[in-house]
Each structure stands twice: as C-alpha cells, then as structure tokens.
Structure 1
Amino acid sequence: DVFTSAHCSHVCQEGCQCDPGFILSDSECVPDSECGCLHKGLYYPRGTFYLGDRCQENCSCGVECRMACSPAGCGPLEKCAVEEGIAKCVPAAQGTCQVLGGFGYITFDGYTFAHHGTCTYVIAQSNVPGLHHFQVLASIERAENGTVGPLMAIVLLMDNGNEVEIYPKILWKVRLNREDFTLPMETDDGEIKAYQDGSSSILKTSFGMQIRFTSSLSIQLTLPSSYAGATSGLCGNYNGNPKDDLWLRSKQPASSVSTFLSSWAEEVTGQHCEVECEPYCGPCEVSKPDPCDLLTNIDGPFKPCANAVDARPYHDVCLKARCATSRKDKALCLAMEAYSTACRAEGVIVDAWRDKCPLECPADTHASSCVDSCSSTCAELLSPGLCTRCSEGCQCNGYRVLSGEEYVQVGHCGCVHHGRYIKRDEYLYIEGCSKRCWCEPLGGVACESTACVPGQRCQLTDGAWGCYREQGVCLLQPDLAVQTLDGLKASLEANIPYNLASLCDHHSDLWFKLVVYQGPCGQPWTVNALHLLLHNTTVVVQNGRVYVSRPIPTLSSHAPTPTNMDN
C-alpha cells in the first residue's frame, strides 16, 4: 500500500502492526529499505524470480524498489512450473529410488533386490563437478524379535557442511546440525525445507532432491534428471540401465548382493554390522498365485494406476522382499504402499488395498485417505507455509491438532518465533543461550536476555540448546590407561585394586567410592571387578553379573536378603 492508497481502509482495525521502521512485505515485516517492487499492478517481494507461463522473463526486484527484467527460459532438461505460488524452472524428468522398510530396494533405474543386512549404508551420493555434492545414509537395525528392520535414521550430508537427520522416534521433527526443528521448517537461505505430508515427512533441497520418510519407515528418494549418470550407492548410478546398478565403491561390478551392500556400509561407533543375508537369501519358491500379484492384477485394487505407473518393479521387489524376510505380510504391505505413493504422485489415488494393510495410527486419531496437513498442526495454523491439502495419513479425532508430538485443542497451541514452533510451557534458548523465549498465555511470544550461571555451560543436548551443569569425565581403558576428571593421563599397574573415584566428605549424603580391579582376561588387560560403595548399598559387577547388597535387616524387619541380578 505504500505504492498506492486507492484501496486502503481508513477505519482503524484491531490486528498486528510492524514496529516503527519496518513494513509488511508478503507475510513478514522487513525494514523500509527492503520493501519489494510493483510490476504491472502486482507486488513482488525482493529477490529474483521468473514471469510468464513459460518462464520467459527473469526478473529481479532490487534496491530502491526497482524491477529489472530480461528475456529468459528454462534449460533443455527443465520445464516451467508454478510451485508454492512462484513460477520456476524445474526438472522435466526425475528419478526415484525406494527403500522398503530396510530389506527391499528399487534403484533409480528400476533394478530390484532384497537383503537382510543391518548397518548404516550409503543410499545415494554424488560428488560430480558442476552439481551439488551430497550423501544420503540410512541406518538399519535388527528388531527385538531378531528380524531385520526397522530403519532407525536417515542422514543427509551436504557440500556446505549442513547435516540433516530424520529419526522415526522423533515425531514430526528434523534435526539440522544436531538441533531439532518442529515441522514445517525452512532455512533462512531456502536451501532446506521440511514439512508433514499426511503420515510422511518430506525433506526438500534447493537443488531438487526430495526425501520422503513414511510412517512405515520406508524411504523414497527423488533426484532431478541433472543427476542422471552421476550417482552411486545402493540406489545405483541412475543411467537408465538397471543391469549395471550393482557396482562397488571401487568402481568394480559386485559379485553378489551381499558384496554390494558390504561395499556401501559405513562404520558407525557403537553399531554392529551384519551384511550376510542368511538365512533369508538366495532363490526361493514363490507360490502361484502369490499375494504380490495384487500389484499387477488388472482387476485388482491398483487397476486405476496401471497406465500411470509401471507396477512390475514393485511386484518384483515384493516377491524378493517376501523371500528375504520372515515378516512376509509386512513386505507385501510395504510394496503396496510404495506403489500407492508413486500412483498418488501421478494424480491417481488408490486406497482399496488398505483393507489388507490398515494404516496404523496413534491413539485418538483415525486413518484417512485425505488429511489436510495445512490445518492439522499448530505450526501450520500459526505460520502457514509448506503443506499439502490432501494426503493419506492419520487425522485427529474431534477438533484437535498436532502440537509437536501430542494432540491438543486449538486453544492450547503454542506459538511461532522466527519460523520455530514453541509448545506451551516450553522454553526456546537461542543465540548461544543469550536469549530465552516462550509463549504468552494470551498469545504471542515473549523473550528475555539470559545467561548460564557459573558451573553451567550452553550446549546442545538431545536436539535443544540449554544451560547444563558442567560435567567431568574419567576414563579407564583396557590398556590400563586412565584419564582423570581434569584430563591428566597416566598408566596403572595390573593386579592392583584402585580407588578410581570417591567423594572426600564421608558424611555427605552423596558420598560414594568406586573401586576397580584390573587383571588378565585374555588380551588386552581389562577390568575384572568393579565395586561401587554407597552409604547403605554396595554394588559389585564381576564375571558378567551384578550383585547388590543392602544392610543386614534387624530381627523385626522383613527386608529382603541380598539380591543377585543378571546383567
């Protein structure tokens, strides 16, 4: 309205107003000097963008609110499309790789294989000059019942140093450079965007990559055609030939699927890798008809999608995945979900297959084939941005929305501060713990200056900044080397008990003494026994067992006798 006052209302209205020296541009307050431009009667914020249905003009709104445009057009592998209300050049073609729950794989070129290995694997990577370098890792663990799965984490490493992590146990959040962000989120430079899409989390990058992580712990990785022939990893080389996808890091063809996976395994501290596929590997007998035939049955639930997406790779990986796992029903459902997702991306919605594979939803929610993510979370209601209007997922019962990882009434939503969602009764520390922000009871955000008190330091813990008590760490290593709480290193003699640590004040309620004994137990030397002495309890760890002794009870007491517990 600074350009024209013809449509302004002179009646005072209640609402939010930018602070002095700032003015509303699009949906945020910016300094007066950063106001946008008026072009052909339309307002555009500062920046560079395309105009026209074929992106034939490349315009820039710069200083002094001046617009400069020049003839343009999209590249040979691109097309003009409108995304999020903005015309832009996007890839004309894309390649998609899928990881089904940790044991079924469909490469960019459509090659399918199944495996029972557990480790952290390089799903895809590229370091070709002229393209953004990246690496996508997926961590696959063994379930409590001994079967492979589920996916435990996805990590995206980018060439500018950014590290994005997605964990299934951290609902509707992504971890950027070790800090948690509630969805939706977008970095200031627009390089990384993440949002909720029904029961999936979507991660997008400025160079055209998209990662979909479903609630069933499957991955769908999409890359623009500019990366064709420029990738490596479990997703293959993206060159259009499925027959040459199994290549080792050494750029030699793999002799087997196990060798292929071993080559792309990453060493992660604390993780035990099992790359062999026994006992579920090799050829197996497939019954006729097989449940996987639902994917290709011309009269089956996927009939509407038959001409939109080729079902054969999904049918093939379904058969192989069912051979490679004891969870055969799970493999079938993952394959059908993957095909259904591909169909939905082409505008074809198929959901009749869900009768055999019901969508698992949390308490107080129900499954829906059309969830409006734009109105199902507090963060989206307070700060509309990246979202989808209709996706399969879990819908809240009643008039409730998602606040972080819990469902609340709309009136109990938190607030948004600089794109960060803050739950009620939650503090957000920012700028090196120099500022602490929270939600006001009647709405809005309040912040105050703060600092960590002596004995505390500002650090990232479990994805959040905060002031935490400083801690010292004493290390005793198998080679008899010790590092004290203050960092001094020394060597100990074997076969001698040592007071590793104790509190000087014997009268303190916090008194303890930790005594260790190191002796030969094969090689190298190791701790044979550990004694933790407290005022009323002694704990002994020895020979793989834990012994806990308590004070001898008096005759009038009914206290239990000393206990012996397996570790």
Structure 2
Amino acid sequence: DGVLGCHPRTCRQCQVLGAGAYSTFDGHLGNLGGSCTLLLLELERGEPEEELEPITVALEQEDTEVQRVTVMAHGMTVVMDRGQQWEVTVSGGPAGFGGKKIFGGKKGDGNRIMGGAAVDGERHLLPLWLRGAAVGVAQVGSHRLLQVQGGPKILYDGNAYVVLTLPPASRRPRGLCGNFNGDPNDDHSDREALGSPPLACTHLAPAPSCSPAQERRCAVLADPEGPFAGCHGAVPPRTYLVTCERQVCGGVGDPCPSFQGYAAACQAAGGTLREWREATGCPLTCPPKSHYQLCARTCEHTCAGVSAPPPCSERCFEGCQCAEGLLFDGARCVLPGTCGCLHQGRYFQIAETMLTPDCSQSCTCRGPGGLQCRPFTCPFGHTCGLRDGTRTCIARPGRCTLSPATRFVTFDGVAGTALATGIYVVASVCDPRDPAWFRLLGDIRDTGEQPAVMALHLFTPHGFITVRRDRKVWLNGVPTPLPVELPGPLTITETHTTLRISRIWWNWAPQGEARATLCGLCGDYDGATSNDLRGPDGMVTSDARALAKAWRAPDFTPPQIR
C-alpha cells in the first residue's frame, strides 16, 4: 500500500501435480513414485500461550496416483478419498502414523495412514463444520476444500491434484512440502523429518519418450492461443506439461487428469481459465437439474449454506451448478422447501436416519425443523460401531470355551460341567438344509494327567476338516500344510500360539437379518441364559452332566457308551 516497512510474506502453495510430481512451498520440484504414504506437512504444537494445535497433512499414493488425503487437526481426522465428491470421513482422534518421517510404509503396512479415519471414520456430507468451525470442509466446484482456522487450506480435486496454501505467519513447517523459508535448495535438508524412502516409494525414472502425436495431446497446456493461455502468468505450465507427457506416454494415455489439475491450479491462483473441456475431449457429466459452469459457486448454493455461512473459497472453480432456484443437498438438486437438517455443523438429508455416537438414540431428519430422536439399543450380540462410514450396530462374535479339565462355557455365558472322554457336538446349525450349516465336534481324551481336547472335526457343505492338538490338519482325509484356503469360504491360519479357522457368513434374507438356530454344548446364542442347557431333543434341563452325555456325537460314539 505504498508504506515502507517489514510486511508478512504472501501465502505460498505446495502442490501435488499428479504422476508422482510435487512442488514445495519454496518452488523446489521433485517426484516420487510407487505406493506409499507421504507426510506433506507437519506443524507442531505452539507455545502454551499461543494456543496452537498441531496439524498434519498426509497423502497416500498408489502407483504414483493419489488415493487419499488425510488431515489431522484440533483432535479430528478428516479423510478425502479419491473419486468422491460432497463427502468426507471423520473420526474423533488422530490417525496412526509411524513417527515423524515424511515417508510412510507401502500399502498394507502398519505405518499406513488409514486406520483411524478410513476404517473407523464416519461419512459426513458437505459443507461441514467441526470443532466450532475450527475445521471446515466444503465442495468448491469439482473440488473439496478443507480449511483449518489459522492454518493451511487444502484443495483436492478428487483425482491427481492437491494444493496446500499456508499463511505466512504459520509455524515453521516440516515435511515433503519443505520449510517455507524462501530457499528451495534446503527444503529437504532436515534429514530427521525426511527419513529414508522405503523400497515401495522411490524416485521416478526419467520421463518416457513421446511420439509427436502424444506430445500434441499435451501441448494444449502451453499453447499461447489455447484455453489455458490466461493461466500461464499465474501458473507456469511447464511442470504440468511434463506431468501430462509422463501420464500419456507412460501407458495411461489419458491427459484429462493433468488438464483438470492445471485448471484447478489456475483458478486457485486467480488465473483466467477459458472453456477447455469440449476442446480437449474431457467432458464433465453433471447430475439432473444441474449444468456445467466454468465458474461455479457450488459451495454457497447448498441446503446447509442457507442455514449457516459455509467455509467457502473466495474464488470460484469449475463444476456442476444447480439450476436457478434449486439447492444441492449432497446428492441432488432440490427445492429449498425439501432441504434437510443442519445439526451441530453437520448436514443431514431429509428422511436420513443416524445413530448417536453411543447408539443410545436414533435420530431422523424431518426437514428444516430439525432432527427427531428416540431411544435406541443395539440388539443382543451387537455392538455400536462404524461400518462403511455409517454408524450402526455391528454383530459381535460369540465366544464359547471348551476346557475339559474344568467345564464348558456357552455363548451366553452359562457354565456347564466337566467333560469325560468322548466326542461331543460342540456347536452346529440345527437345520442341515441351511446354506450356512456347519457342525463342530470336539474330541476329548484322557492324556494321563487330565482330559484334553485332542482334535476338532469341522463339517461344512464344502468339506470335512480335522485339526489335531499337534497342529496337524486334514482336509477330506488328506494331510494339508498350513496356511491353506479351503473349498468354499474357509481359511485356516496359524499363529505362534493358535490355529484360527475363519468363515465368511452371508445374510440370506433380503428384507432382514438371517440368523440360524444353533445347537450343541455351546448353546443357542440368543442372549438368554435360561435355555442354554437344551439337549438334542429340544428339551431344557438343569442337569449339565446329563446334557453333556446327550451331546455325544452319535456317529462317533459306540451304542454301548451312549
């Protein structure tokens, strides 16, 4: 403003450009390939008087493609997954990350950032406010924008492009995005933070050679007369051109992700973008009652945005805009009168039902009037949890123990009697016609000191399995080494102390939960203890010793013993 003095530097950006390429806050260009997790940014907790929370931004890539962006701030973990729009998953705690290293493990590694949010996270529609607006997430055009109060902004196009914008007054950052000190040459000098990349995360090989035809497919990015010409002053196209050629000439063949990433970078930087999708053959399909706009204001024109100002961007981005007079509710364009509910910064579609975090209440959105809640309890054998981003009641595995020297304990917790030598029906689906039928027998023998389970025999529609105490396994009478995948949905795996036989169950009733009736020493697993001591004849007894005798396997027990 014409005043001489010391002024804060302007905001700087760190960008992930696709095909493994990235640019730090200070402009250092690098590339990393393979499948691994990258710690893009870490801001450590400030001094107590500053009241600054730690912030971490990580990226998970697979074969150089961005699969997930994870942000941890203010005690929350927010995950933006590839290919999604208008939603994120949120968990109330930090995701696991193996130390303060830039490089995480490969896919499936324990250091992979996914546990807290991707598996246990709850799906939230956008726009979204968390921790009293300390963290806000909105859909801006075709991209999702996450803003941390007093911290970074993260824009993700759901495909290949990620941009982190950091205000100049921020704490000194660490991570792959560099240290934001104006010198691109020392961005990766902090070896403690950097660590060493695992074998699954390597520096990319030189770009493959391109044919003239392939080069022409990407050349539109740098064309001074093309649709991106107005972007060149704000975002030099050279890096995006190289990324595009790597994608097109390296076998993928599709330049559209590079074009979309450059378009997002251009609009984020305030460049002038012209209509490019039709000219390049990269159409964007919009849902009913909406249309494509080069400068869409999707964030403001939402049902949630009517009730409270959403955390929108100052700039517009290309995307799908609802027709005049309609608002977007997270799935479709609707009339304002059919919008849902905004509750504690979270939007719910009309008629959407949700469970409270402890599953003690079930709440349904009845429209702008708010949520209507009623008491709720998970049924027996189920526990409150998250499945596929939705809070629900999840079936809890039952546990029956068989310890011949002492006694058996049923699924419902009833203690039986000590078992004599013999072969017993431990558990079985009562109806042999049930598709999920199985029959488990326990072979108890005297070892000289006390009776012990010497073998288990499992019958299923897919075969007959014997597991002996010495860890020898037979499948249909044939000795079988471990681990083994068996016919049908069965596997046997071995740990240091146990053998585990796992089985996949199906829900056979399309309109409700299918539950087979169980028989055997382990009881029926219905939550009631009064009927556990039920014999093969269906009669309940109080004589546990007589019950045990009745559940001897008739096909393995001589008549004189029975």
Tell me which interval the TM-score lies in, with the shorter structure as reference length: 0.5 to 0.7
Q: Show the counterpart of 2:292.
A: 367
SS of 1:503's equivalent?
strand
Q: Show the counterpart of 1:535.
A: none
Cα distance change on mapping 1:449 and 1:352 into 2, 3 Å: same
Structure 1: stretches of 5+ with no match in the other structure: 1-52, 54-74, 79-91, 143-147, 253-259, 266-272, 475-483, 488-497, 533-538, 543-567
Cα distance change on mapping 1:76 and 1:163 into 2, 3 Å: farther
Cα distance change on mapping 1:412 and 1:295 into 2, 3 Å: same
Q: Which amino acid aligns with 1:429?
A: L
Q: Show the counterpart of 1:232.
A: 175
CA offsets 1:140-183 (integer angstroms, 9 cap, x no match): 235xxxxx53x22111123x532111123553122221222211
Q: Aligned runs of 1:392-407 on 2, under 5 Å?
A: 392-396=318-322, 401-407=327-333
Q: Distance in 2 between matches of 1:239 and 1:486?
A: 63
Q: Which among 69, 94, 102 is matched to residue 154 of structure 1?
A: 69
Q: Aligned runs of 1:167-182 on 2, under 5 Å?
A: 167-168=81-82, 170-177=84-91, 178-182=121-125
CA contact (8 A) 1:340 1:349 kept: no
Cα distance change on mapping 1:76 and 1:432 into 2, 3 Å: farther
Q: Show the counterpart of 2:312.
A: 387
Q: Distance in 2 between matches of 1:394 and 1:457?
A: 40
Q: Show the counterpart of 1:420.
A: 346
Alignment root-mean-square deviation, CA = 4.2
CA contact (8 A) 1:415 1:439 kept: yes
Q: Aligned runs of 1:112-511 on 2, under 5 Å?
A: 112-127=29-44, 130=47, 132-142=53-63, 148-149=64-65, 151-158=66-73, 160-168=74-82, 170-177=84-91, 178-227=121-170, 230-233=173-176, 235-246=177-188, 249-250=191-192, 263-264=196-197, 274-276=200-202, 281-282=205-206, 284-285=208-209, 292-318=218-244, 325-330=250-255, 333-354=256-277, 355-356=279-280, 358-364=282-288, 365-374=290-299, 376-387=301-312, 390-396=316-322, 401-408=327-334, 410-430=336-356, 432-440=358-366, 443-472=369-398, 502-503=427-428, 505=430, 509=434, 511=437
Q: Distance in 2 between matches of 1:172 and 1:428?
A: 18
Q: Distance in 2 between matches of 1:124 and 1:264?
A: 16
CA contact (8 A) 1:249 1:264 kept: no
Structure 2: stretches of 5+ with no match in the other structure: 92-120, 401-409, 414-422, 440-457, 460-464, 475-479, 493-562
CA contact (8 A) 1:104 1:321 kept: no
Q: Which amino acid aligns with 1:452?
A: C
Q: Distance in 1 between matches of 2:28 and 2:15?
A: 11
Q: Distance in 1 between matches of 2:483 and 2:331?
A: 42
SS of 1:386's equivalent?
coil
Q: Distance in 2 between matches of 1:370 and 1:153?
A: 26
CA offsets 1:514-554 (integer angstroms, 9 cap, x no match): 56466599xx962335366xxxxxx7779xxxxxxxxxxxx
CA contact (8 A) 1:102 1:218 kept: no
How far the C-alpha of 1:393 sits from its partner, in A, is 0.4
Cα distance change on mapping 1:486 and 1:116 into 2, 3 Å: farther
Q: Distance in 2 between matches of 1:243 and 1:320?
A: 25
Q: Distance in 2 between matches of 1:394 and 1:501?
A: 59
Q: Which amino acid aligns with 1:505?
A: C
How far the C-alpha of 1:138 sits from its partner, in A, is 1.5
Q: Distance in 2 between matches of 1:499 and 1:264?
A: 55
SS of 2:483's equivalent?
strand
Task: Count residues with an aligned counterpart.
Answer: 402
Q: Which amino acid aligns with 2:25?
A: F
SS of 2:174's equivalent?
coil
TM-score by structure 2 length?
A: 0.60
Q: Distance in 2 between matches of 1:472 and 1:303?
A: 65
Q: Which amino acid aligns with 1:94?
A: C
Q: Which amino acid aligns with 1:367?
A: Y
Cα distance change on mapping 1:505 and 1:248 into 2, 3 Å: farther
Structure with the larger strand share: 1
Q: Which amino acid aligns with 2:282?
A: P
Cα distance change on mapping 1:307 and 1:455 into 2, 3 Å: closer
TM-score by structure 1 length?
A: 0.59
Q: Distance in 1 between matches of 2:180 and 2:247?
A: 22
Q: Which amino acid aligns with 1:141?
A: E
CA offsets 1:52-109 (integer angstroms, 9 cap, x no match): x9xxxxxxxxxxxxxxxxxxxxx9655xxxxxxxxxxxxx522211213452322222
Q: Distance in 1 between matches of 2:426 and 2:317?
A: 57
How far the C-alpha of 1:201 sits from its partner, in A, is 0.7
CA offsets 1:8-56 (integer angstroms, 9 cap, x no match): xxxxxxxxxxxxxxxxxxxxxxxxxxxxxxxxxxxxxxxxxxxxx9xxx
Cα distance change on mapping 1:192 and 1:313 into 2, 3 Å: same
Q: Distance in 1 between matches of 2:322 and 2:173?
A: 43
Q: Distance in 2 between matches of 1:123 and 1:440?
A: 41
Q: Distance in 2 between matches of 1:276 and 1:305?
A: 31
Q: Distance in 2 between matches of 1:215 and 1:180?
A: 16
CA offsets 1:307-356 (integer angstroms, 9 cap, x no match): 44444444455455656x322543xx444433433332343331243321
CA contact (8 A) 1:113 1:320 kept: no
How far the C-alpha of 1:248 sits from its partner, in A, is 7.3
Q: Distance in 1 between matches of 2:370 and 2:281?
A: 43
SS of 1:526's equivalent?
coil
Asked whether 1:100 is paired with 2:17, we answer yes
Q: Distance in 2 between matches of 1:531 and 1:395?
A: 51
CA contact (8 A) 1:102 1:140 kept: no
- Structure 1 stretches of at least 4 aligned residues deviating more than 6 Å after TM superposition: 484-487, 498-501, 539-542
